[in-house]
Amino acid sequence: MSGRALLEVEGLRITATRPHEVDLVRDLSFAVAAGEMLAVVGESGAGKSVTARAVLGLLPAGLRVSGHVRFDGRELVGGTGAAHRALWGRRMAFVPQDALSVLSPVHTVGDQLALAVRSVRGVGRKAALEQAVAALDRVGIPDAARRARAYPHEFSGGMRQRAVIAMATVNDPDLVVADEPTTALDPTVQARILDMLAAFREQAGMAVVLVTHDLAVAAAHADRVLVMYAGRHVESGPVHRVLRAPRAPYTAGLIASLPARHAVSRYLPAMSGAPATAGALPPGCAFAPRCPAATDSCTRHEPEPVEWHDGHWASCHRIAELPRRTADLFERTGT
Amino acid sequence: MTAPLLEVRDLVVRYPARARRTPPVLAVDRISFTVAAGETVALVGESGSGKSSTAAAVLMLRKPEGGSVRFDGRELTTVDERGLRALRRGVQPVFQDPHGSLSPRKAVFDAVAEPLRVQGRWDPTTGPARVAELLDLVRLDRSVARRLPHELSGGQCQRVGIARALASEPKLLVLDEPVSALDPSVRAGVINLFTELQDELGLAQLFICHDLALVRHVAHRVAVLHRGRVVESGPARQVCDAPTHDHTRELLSSVPAFDHLTER
């Protein structure tokens, strides 16, 4: 990474304390530079959403955070939460999966956006509403002045998500954390919204952390990608390197099992087993029981991230011995 | 040429108005397609395109307003209750939500045995062996028989759902987005299972899906639905590789292409 990162996460550990202690995220480190889009990719239970919420300071009670989260050099872990409050809305903003969870049903979309403006800037009602309409217009809501007077339930799912993105970005934050922002939407709507977010990000120069379970979404929009499994780092680096030449078998398997556009066989290369869950992790590398390349030593020690190539890191004991085309590990091995 | 196993012609499904002074919703507007024995036909479209309403009509869960649904030589829209019960055995659904389609209080063994018991085909001496056989068929370890759904992963639950469907010895499976709720690393395994079952048992499949890239893999033929109508249909590879309708192109381009990134 060149220069100082906008967001630095170092040795992050997130622990659920009830009913008994379970680590949801362990030893996680990554950084996001200003203006960069990082995709955090993982399956259910990989720890990607709690990581996003730890960055934002929005973890539910009962989860304990240790390690470091630094935003523009300032430490956000520990303390009273005042550090986070000073950043929310101004410098760091959140786009959740479910737009209705952050929109009030009893206020118009325009009023809610105007409130977001007024909570940060000392402007009058009228000026705030004008900025709100401009923000709706920027995210591609047609006839924004009229739509600003509508209530969230009068918007379609895609339009609601656009409104939430408008609200998150109305005060020009430096970082937007989006947790599966388009997962609940139709694929064509999903593509349009992600394109809009990507274009908007470039224009405004903001950094984005995009949490997704969909590698294809990461491939299309992110600069860098962080792949997580069972709460740990699996692979990270420039998106084209990681997806074109993955070094961790888990990443390779995820890519290999996607339907290819020109494949001939009706069978897909498939991974065996099911994702590991926190609290019931196998010993050693959590992916070892499903990994076609695993050896005895994989089940004894957890692998640490190793830099394979300029900025491309992978956590795998066998990184140096794997075939050049790691996808070959997953040629149809059955179901 | 023999008659197709399933023949849907000019199907119309309409839902009553949700509020006064609003018109009823025409969900399916004269859709026609066929599925031959041993064939996989995909219905592709966005939410609201009418694909699930079509599936509901084929499963006789919703009476269509017009058109005909012929299965195995019998007209489903006019058949009486008794005839319907007999025909239903031949058409079995697999739903999207793997946990939601199983009773949380019923162990896997009972969930798989239930269709046999309901249909009066349960034999206490051979039944348990039949359940074990069905679990083998969906590649589940026999030890899961004693477990409850919450102790299983999403992929395992979906396999239990498939075993339940197979218990009736159907000729046609109606698969309504059967993998979209599953984790990416287990999707391919379940997709392959459908293909294997077809090869082993000669099952016909009506595959409802919004992902054209996946459809190209699993289906022989595809019908693309848009606002309740078929806008394009044909062999799956032809439709996906050389789409002729704008909406098909839009569906294809909305799935970010991977092939240019990976060396395949």
The model's pLDDT over A299-324, given as tens digits with 9 standing for 90+, comes to 999 999 999 999 999 999 999 999 88
Assign B121 to helix, strand or coil: coil
pLDDT band of residue B19 (cuts 50, 70, 90) is confident
Contacts of A271 in chain B (CB under 8 A): 185-186, 188-189
β partners of residue B44: B209, B224
In this complex, which of B188, B210, B241 lies closest to A271 when CB atoms are compared? B188
pLDDT at B56 exceeding the cut of 80: yes
- Taken in order of first residue, the domains within chain A and their CATH numbers are 1-91+174-335 (3.40.50.300), 99-172 (no CATH)
Q: Do B193 and A335 touch (CB under 8 A)?
A: yes
Task: Return the pLDDT at B118.
Answer: 93
Residue B1 binned pLDDT confidence (cut-offs 50, 70, 90):
low
In the predicted structure, residue A263 carries a pLDDT above the cut 80: no
- Is A271 at the interface with chain B, CB within 8 A? yes
Average pLDDT, chain A: 91
Given a cut of 90, whether residue A258 has pLDDT beyond it is: no
pLDDT band at B184 (very low <50, low <70, confident <90, very high): confident
Q: What's the rounded mean pLDDT across residues B163-171?
A: 96
Q: How much is the pLDDT for A153? A: 93
pLDDT at B260 over 50: no
% of chain A beyond a pLDDT of 70: 98
Residue of B150, B192, B246 for testing the chain A interface, max A β-carbons within 10 Å: B192
Strand partners, A32: A7
**Are residues A247 and A316 in contact, defined by beta-carbon separation less than 8 angstroms?**
yes
pLDDT at B264 over 60: no
Q: Please give the pLDDT value at position B257.
A: 56
Residue with the bigger pLDDT between A213 and A264: it is: A213
Backbone angles phi, psi at A41, to 5 degrees: -110, 135
Q: What is the mean pLDDT of residues A259-270?
A: 82
ipTM beyond cut 0.90: no
- Provide the shortest C-alpha distance from residue B63 to chain A (in Å): 27
Chain B CA closest to residue A212:
B184
Predicted pLDDT at A111: 96
Are A258 and B213 a contacting pair at CB < 8 A?
Answer: yes
B258 falls in which pLDDT band (50, 70, 90)?
Answer: low
Residue of B nearest to A268 (CA): B188
Question: What pLDDT is attached to residue B160?
Answer: 97
DSSP string, A233-251: EEEEEEHHHHHHS--SHHH
| CB-based contact, A89 to chain B, within 8 Å | no
* pLDDT higher than 80, residue A68: yes
Where residue A3 falls among pLDDT bands split at 50, 70, 90? low
Taking residues A53-63, report their average pLDDT.
93
pLDDT for residue A216? 84
Among B185, B213, B253, the residue with its CB nearest the CB of A43 is B185
Residues of B engaging A, defined by a Cβ cutoff of 8 Å: 46-47, 139, 153-156, 183-193, 195-196, 210-211, 213-214, 216-218, 240-241, 250-251, 253-259, 261-264
Of residues B189, B259, B264, nearest to A271 (C-beta):
B189
pLDDT band at A80 (very low <50, low <70, confident <90, very high): confident
Percent of chain A clearing pLDDT 90 (strictly above): 69
- The reported pLDDT for the residue numbered A335 is 41
What is the chain A residue with the closest CA to B210? Answer: A187
Mutating which of A261, A264, A328 best tests the B interface, going by the most B Cβ atoms within 10 A?
A261
What mean pLDDT do residues A53-60 have? 94
pLDDT band of residue B81 (cuts 50, 70, 90) is confident
pLDDT (0 to 100) of residue B82 = 87
Q: How confident is the model at residue B256 (pLDDT cuts 50, 70, 90)?
A: low
- Residues near A286 by Cβ (< 8 Å), separated by ≥ 6? A229, A230, A231, A232, A276, A302
Angle of helix A157-169 versus helix A109-118 axis, rounded to 10: 10
Phi and psi torsions of A322, nearest 5°: -70, 155
Q: Which domains does chain B have, with CATH numbers?
A: 1-90+170-257 (3.40.50.300), 99-169 (no CATH)
State how far residue B130 is from chain A, nearest Cα, in angstroms.
21
Yes or no, beta carbons of B189 and A270 under 8 Å apart = yes
Instruction: Report phi then psi at B6, rounded to 5.
Output: -125, 130
- Residue A55's pLDDT is 97
Tell me the average pLDDT of chain B.
91
Residue A248 in this model has a pLDDT that exceeds 50: yes
- A102-128 average pLDDT score: 94
Question: CA A140, CA B77: separation in Å to the nearest integer?
Answer: 45
Is the CB of residue A280 less than 8 Å away from at least one CB of chain B?
A: no
Residues B222, B227, B231: CA angle, nearest 5 degrees: 40
Contact A43 B184 (CB under 8 A): yes
